[in-house]
Amino acid sequence: MLKISLSGLAVLFGLLSGYSQHYKLPVKDTSDYKERQLKFEEINIVTSFYSQDGNHSAVTGGLGTERLNDNSNTFELKLFNTSRSGIKHHYTLGLGFDHYTSASSDKIDTAVTWSGFNGGTTTSGGVTTVPGRGHRSGASSLGTTTTVSIYNPQIVTSASFKDNRFYPSLAYSFENPNNGLSAGLGINYSTEYDYQSRGAIFNIAKASKDKNTEIGLSANAFFDTWLVIYPAELRPAGYPYGGHRDKALLTRSPRNSYSAGLTWSQVVNKKFQFSFMIEPSYQEGLLGTKYQRVYFEDGTARPENMPSRRTKLPMSFRGSLFISDWLVLRPNYRFYTDSWHLTAHTVNMEASVKANAFLSFIPFYRYHTQNGVPYFAPYKAHSVEETYFTSDYDLSKLSSQQYGLGIRVVPLHGVMGIPGFNSLEVRYANYVRSDALKASMLTAVLTFK
């Protein structure tokens, strides 16, 4: 999928090259005020391919494949103009599209029979029939009946499930160089098969007269809606299975998120600058994922159930150390705690090593550790008396490491000789986690100015 995306970008490069050479916005020959027409500022294109695998799928109760592939592409167009008073106005249009395949998500509708439950399944001769959708060679046939042989009731195998996510956004901001004040607002939308999100953002910042200190405030709100899809064998009698034909009959549940941010940025001297950020947030609504199974000590199963409210408090410190003309170090530390009693520490170090004026290498390393929430337990370790329960290893006690290398080129006459193709950065990262989850990511960032 990445190969296809990059091929498409190559075609876009040619179009942008022609645009930069042949199209110019008209310029008025006046002297009594500054140019106010809308001008092109830059285009940012990010394309990435992510792949992971593991054996602790939350969909199948903490056991089973976590194989997932995701191809993500975002496009960002920035325009600006300047008012008579010298205030600069920025306008940003963003478009994003993701396509993923997930072997674990596909098992929502592939079921087994467990003692003590009657979720609309029937058993005959060691074969369980489940109302759901059939899968053949990666394709899905909605509204059919799937027959599954129960040779291993702990891990269910089937073809990968596919989905797409589309997320546009619009933003406006201004900056006043006369008093150091800047502010902005934006709206965004995201949709996929079972999830829709609408959001709004606002930020404001004030810089000191010498531009060495800046204080910023931000506020975000996201209003999301889930389609409540249960695992096939745990659905109430008569409940829709979530296919296209009965999607409208599914229960819809809200999830609302609110956050604020306070940022302090400081230039200490020519060699060192830093920023400190605190971002409290609050969530309410359906915070558990109902299509994730949880298996209990007695062998019975239920859909995941989590508290309906959650407050979070992350704090982070970022620094930039300009060691020399060819070496910059960027340390980062983040502390996180929330009302689910999850505490985490993350340390990241990135270096920018200049080979020459146009080429830089960017090695990076990240270490993360967390204590896990009290609601987590692995497969068949939960007590039936518990109120909240999950077997999602993302919420377990774990540690992880991520390391990789980036290469950034900023040629004098444009990347590949294309005028306006200002820079290209490619990064490759490996991710390993203490629960045996492994992942890799390849990302390309292209900037046109």
pLDDT tens digit at each of 449 positions of the chain: 444 444 444 444 444 444 444 444 444 444 444 556 899 999 999 999 999 999 999 999 999 999 999 999 999 999 999 999 899 999 999 999 999 998 777 788 754 433 333 333 333 333 233 333 322 223 222 233 333 333 233 333 333 368 899 999 999 999 999 999 999 999 999 999 889 999 999 999 999 999 999 999 999 999 999 999 899 889 888 888 776 667 777 889 999 999 999 999 999 999 999 999 999 999 999 999 999 999 999 999 999 999 999 999 999 999 999 999 999 999 999 999 999 999 999 999 999 999 999 999 999 999 999 999 999 999 999 999 999 999 999 999 999 999 999 999 999 999 999 999 999 999 999 999 999 999 999 999 999 99
Tokens 């064998």 identify what position? 233
* Rg (alpha carbons) of the chain, rounded to whole number: 26
So what's the pLDDT on residue 181?
97
CA angle (214 as vertex; 211, 218 as ends), nearest 5:
145
Question: In angstroms, how far is the first alpha carbon of the chain from the final one?
Answer: 27
CA angle (67 as vertex; 63, 72 as ends), nearest 5:
140
3-state secondary structure of 7: helix
Q: Which helix (H) or strand (E) holds 406?
A: strand 398-409
- Write the secondary structure of 267-311 as one string of H (helix), E (strand) and C (coil): ECCCCEEEEEEECCEEEEECCCCCCCEEEECCCCEEECECCCEEE
Nearest to 437 by CA among 71, 60, 61, 52: 52
Say which amino acid occupies 225: T
CA atoms of 198 and 189, how far apart (whole Å): 5
So what's the pLDDT on residue 35?
53
Residue 234 sits at φ, ψ, to 5 deg, of -110, 15
CA angle (309 as vertex; 304, 314 as ends), nearest 5:
105
3-state secondary structure of 415: helix
- How does 361-398 read in b/e, with b if 16+ C-beta sit within 10 Å? ebebebebebebbebbbebbebeeeeebbbbbbbbbeb
3-state secondary structure of 22: helix
So what's the pLDDT on residue 237?
85
3-state secondary structure of 14: helix
Residue 356 sits at φ, ψ, to 5 deg, of -160, -170
* Sign, CA torsion 243/245/249/252: positive
Quote the tokens at residue 56. Answer: 């602790």
3-state secondary structure of 108: helix
Nearest to 287 by CA among 267, 269, 263, 304: 304
So what's the pLDDT on residue 397?
98
CA atoms of 289 and 291, how far apart (whole Å): 6
CA atoms of 418 and 434, how far apart (whole Å): 45
* Sign, CA torsion 297/303/304/308: negative
